[in-house]
Amino acid sequence: MRTEIATLGEFGLIRHLTENIELKHPSTRYGVGDDAAVLSYPADRDILVTTDLLLEGVHFDLTYVPLKHLGYKAAVVNFSDIYAMNGSPRQITVSLGLSKRFCIEDMDELYAGIRLACEAYDVDIVGGDTSSSLTGLTISITCIGEVEKGKAVYRNGARETDLICVSGDLGAAYMGLQLLEREKAVLKGSGQDVQPDFAGKEYLLERQLKPEARRDIIARLAEAGIQPTAMMDISDGLSSELIHICTQSHAGCRIYEEHIPIDYQTAVMAEEFNMNLTTCALNGGEDYELLFTVPIADHEKISEMEGVKLIGHITRPELGCALITRDGQEFELKAQGWNPLKAPDNPAQMPENN
């Protein structure tokens, strides 16, 4: 069944997509339904705001990205930015640009993913907008969050001797993208309606199509009494993000190849594609893991923390940023990850949100 969006109109579509939304947070005084949402935060909280603009054909490819997964991912990557500030996401607004090829059922799928993400991360949808588009689908999500005053973590706080840590594993999302792009090319060349076989590669696809924000790591750090000195989420690749932290902190760094966490499926896939595994982990992007630094005094605590890997340390700025290989060689780190203003080799990557 296909129902044209014109049958509802702009306001009818907004009502259709946002009906039955239940508001969960005391800070949400009034949500969808008026000229603006009304929010009220306690005086002991700072407010965090982040936004993402996602364009079809630049940041995602609907050939292989289901609309429900796209909605989920579009919301979660915003939540990730709030967690990267050591905060908690509370509300989002969702604005959509739609071409005529989309119908109401398509938007139901997209919003089902957005609402699923909001339920999973305890976030309220409080507003948004829709408009016609001549270039496919455009998604703009703004996320509002909160953090206890004095607890926000920025990119510029890393200091010499601080330890460099990452959560989870790296490179899997990039390998998932390579897998999807390969199967797209194979199916296009075959001229047949054949379903690809992704058996044994489910983790890679999930990391690309349905990433999760690391709320759990923020909670563990708080429980352990650890306040990171600098933090980012890894959207553009470990190398790019680490250079951001070092540049803004006026510092250098050393990370060790043997300590970079990589999943087994990622390693197998990199070998199949004849790609350098470490390069994929450094520059792939879209992992949405947390990269952060902590004082050296927290070494014992951080070493015992589940889901966190110690990969290096901060140095004096004149030493620059470098990777130490398994055989002891030193290579300068370069920001070779995803750049949203440069034509990418793989056009279906999500951008960094600044």
Render pLDDT for 90-121 as a digit per residue (tens, 0 to 9).
999 999 999 999 999 999 999 999 999 999 99
Closest alpha carbon to 233 in 350, 107, 63, 99:
350
How far, in Å, CA of 157 to CA of 285, rounded?
Answer: 23
Distances (CA, A) of 239 to 108, 125, 267, 334: 37, 34, 18, 6
Render pLDDT for 164-203 as a digit per residue (tens, 0 to 9).
999 999 999 999 999 999 988 877 766 666 677 788 899 9
pLDDT reported for residue 155: 97
Q: Are residues 167 and 292 in the same domain?
A: yes
Query: Residue 194's domain spans which residues?
Result: 163-332
Distances (CA, A) of 167 to 5, 173, 231, 241, 289: 42, 14, 11, 14, 5
pLDDT reported for residue 349: 42
Q: Are residues 307 and 214 in the same domain?
A: yes
Count of domains in the chain? Answer: 2
Q: Are residues 175 and 324 in the same domain?
A: yes
User: Would the pLDDT of 245 be above 70?
Assistant: yes
Q: Are residues 80 and 196 in the same domain?
A: no
Q: Are residues 139 and 245 in the same domain?
A: no
User: What's the predicted TM-score (pTM) here?
Assistant: 0.92
Q: Are 47 and 55 in contact (CB under 8 A)?
A: no
Q: Which residues pair with 253 in a beta bridge?
A: 314, 321
Render pLDDT for 40-86 as a digit per residue (tens, 0 to 9).
999 999 999 999 999 999 999 999 999 999 999 999 999 999 999 99
pLDDT reported for residue 3: 81
Closest alpha carbon to 314 in 261, 262, 237, 250:
250
Instruction: Answer whether residue 130 is part of any domain.
Output: yes
How far, in Å, CA of 178 to CA of 270, rounded?
Answer: 9
Q: Are residues 125 and 175 in the same domain?
A: no
Q: Are residues 171 and 289 in the same domain?
A: yes
pLDDT reported for residue 11: 76
Instruction: Answer whether residue 40 is part of any domain.
Output: yes
pLDDT reported for residue 188: 76
Q: Are residues 143 and 21 in the same domain?
A: yes
Q: Are residues 236 and 284 in the same domain?
A: yes
Instruction: Answer whether residue 24 is part of any domain.
Output: yes
Instruction: Answer whether residue 99 is part of any domain.
Output: yes
Place of tokens 């759990």: 216
Tokens of 157: 């706080």
Residue 338 banded pLDDT, cuts 50, 70, 90: low
Instruction: Answer whether residue 106 is part of any domain.
Output: yes
Instruction: Answer whether residue 241 is part of any domain.
Output: yes
User: Would the pLDDT of 346 be above 50?
Assistant: no
Q: Are residues 182 and 321 in the same domain?
A: yes
Q: Are residues 27 and 171 in the same domain?
A: no
pLDDT reported for residue 191: 61
Q: Are residues 222 and 125 in the same domain?
A: no
